[in-house]
């Protein structure tokens, strides 16, 4: 039992664990004061105050969320104000639409995205991103088969861009990045998400 499990006062944050890189998110959440819980069944959503949707393959994640009857439940929770943080494929899942054709999406954030916009696995890269919402120090962006935000509505606040494309955004209780903050030692984005969680629980 880790320290987070021993403290019931810490907020429980679910990490969708159907497919993709979820373990690193669990570790980051523990470091910023949450109790992470793997989400593989719809009923587990009743136990959490927030949710992280990790990277992976958005088409596969969407199909699994439909198959496990999770997609509609998460959409409802997002509409009701539950904080949700999507990274890479998670950003795609939060979007209203993609330019790549039909797939199962949560359709919560007012944005249209392009999957694998920066290229395939061999085109993965790291770069420093300016993110004023996190302070003056740049944030290490790890891009792996990453999407970008093609267009966004007025309700969406762009937090970071790369090569003139938005790659991080926030809309009310929703936070999304095209890159993988969980693969770095920089916890500021997870801390920002936890601030959203605690603000929503007041």
Which residues are designated catalytic? 88, 180, 182
Judge residue 193's burial from the number of C-beta atoms within 10 Å of its C-beta, 0-12 exposed, 13-18 middle, 19 or more buried.
buried
Measured CA to CA, the distance from residue 96 to residue 132 in angstroms comes to 26
- In sequence order, the 6+-apart residues with CB closer than 8 A to the CB of 54 are 15, 16, 20, 21, 22, 24, 25, 87, 88, 89, 90, 182
Backbone φ and ψ for 12, nearest 5 degrees, come out as -90, 120
- Tokens 């938005």 correspond to 166
- Written in H, E and C, the secondary structure of 170-181 is EECCEEEECCCH
Measured CA to CA, the distance from residue 138 to residue 158 in angstroms comes to 15
Instruction: Judge whether 87 and 180 are in contact, CB under 8 Å.
Output: yes
């Amino acid at each position: 039992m880790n320290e987070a499990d021993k403290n019931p006062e810490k907020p429980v944050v679910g990490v969708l664990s159907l497919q993709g890189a979820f373990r690193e998110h669990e570790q980051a959440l523990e470091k910023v004061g949450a109790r992470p819980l793997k989400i593989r069944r719809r009923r587990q959503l009743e136990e959490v105050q927030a949710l992280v949707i990790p990277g992976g393959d958005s088409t596969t994640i969407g199909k699994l969320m439909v198959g496990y009857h999770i997609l509609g439940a998460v959409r409802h929770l997002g509409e009701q104000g539950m904080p949700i943080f999507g990274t890479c494929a998670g950003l795609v899942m939060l979007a209203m639409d993609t330019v790549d054709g039909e797939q199962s999406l949560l359709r919560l954030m007012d944005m249209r995205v392009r999957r694998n916009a920066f290229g395939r696995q061999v085109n993965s890269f790291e770069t420093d991103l300016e993110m004023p919402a996190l302070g003056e120090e740049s944030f290490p962006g790890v891009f792996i088969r990453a999407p970008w935000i093609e267009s966004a509505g007025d309700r969406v606040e762009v937090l970071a861009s790369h090569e003139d494309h938005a790659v991080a955004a926030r809309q009310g209780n929703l936070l999304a990045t095209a890159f993988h903050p969980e693969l770095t030692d920089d916890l500021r984005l997870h801390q920002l998400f936890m601030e959203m969680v605690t603000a929503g629980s007041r």
